[in-house]
Amino acid sequence: MSLYQQIEKDYITAYKAKETVRVSVLRMLKTSVKRRLVDTSRPGEELGDDEMMDVIIKEAKQRRDSIAEYNKAGRADLAEKEEAELAILEGYLPKALTDEELAAAIEEMVAKVGAKAPSDMGKVMGPLMKALKGRVDGGRLSAAVKARLAK
């Protein structure tokens, strides 16, 4: 079953169970998918798992940004709502990397591309972003790579 089909199935299940937050998140996700299909001139088709992952990652990032802004503004109630939505979205993403796993992946890529200085950051980031898609936030990865190359 594709990721898109899984989301459709989960949406119907949540709707029948009257899980309002899950229904809302999955409805928003379905809307984002349709928007992506229209933007790529493929209305009526289905996104592949890779493209679905991109949409979910984008939506999760928006939630993280909103949580940070709401917390900064002292709006714990809205931040809590966004955290609940983020938890649902993260259920469709691969398991996040631990700090140790991230460090090991960075070391491996640094050795593979022969990066030695901070100016080689692009050589490391591109392949790592593809390899670790959905498992690590870009900001976290960037900071970790920058720290490693600064040594």
Reported as a single tens digit per residue, the pLDDT across 26-50 is 999 999 999 999 988 888 788 888 8
| Nearest partner of 105 among 133, 70, 71, judged by Cα | 133
Cβ(37)–Cβ(44) under 8 Å?
A: yes
- The 8-class DSSP code of residue 98 comes to P
**Mind listing the pLDDT tens digit for each residue in 105-127?**
999 998 888 888 888 888 889 89
**DSSP H helices in the chain:** 3-16, 20-39, 49-72, 76-90, 99-113, 121-131, 138-150
pTM of the model: 0.80
